[in-house]
Amino acid sequence: MNFQNVDPGTLIFIALGIGLLCVVGIGLILALQFAGNIIGTLFSFFNLFFDVVSGGPIAWCGCLLLIGACGLCGGIAYLAAVCSGGSAMNFCLLFGQ
């Protein structure tokens, strides 16, 4: 190939294009690794959840009761906070407020 007829300005554009492709390629590799880690973490949580659920009713019954107990405690705490506000409701009458 004869490089005597190649314009130096064209070589600069070719060099800048190759450099830009390298920078974009490195950026894509890093972005894909980051996205892969996030998606892998998300799927591991789903996998853990489905492993617990697929263990049968005996395996996750305690977890379900614990979640229900936490919800019940949260609901009672919310109703107690509403009673201390000033708007009385039937639940508040149980406590004499």
Domain positions in the chain are 8-54, 59-97
| Residues counted in the chain | 97
Mean confidence (pLDDT) of the chain: 80
Over residues 13-36, the pLDDT tens digits come to 888 999 999 999 999 999 999 999
97 pLDDT more than 60: no
pLDDT for res 28: 93
Query: If pLDDT is split at 50, 70 and 90, which confidence band does 74 have?
Result: very high
Rounded-to-integer distance, Cα 13 and Cα 84, Å? 73
Q: How far apart are the first and last CA of the chain?
A: 96
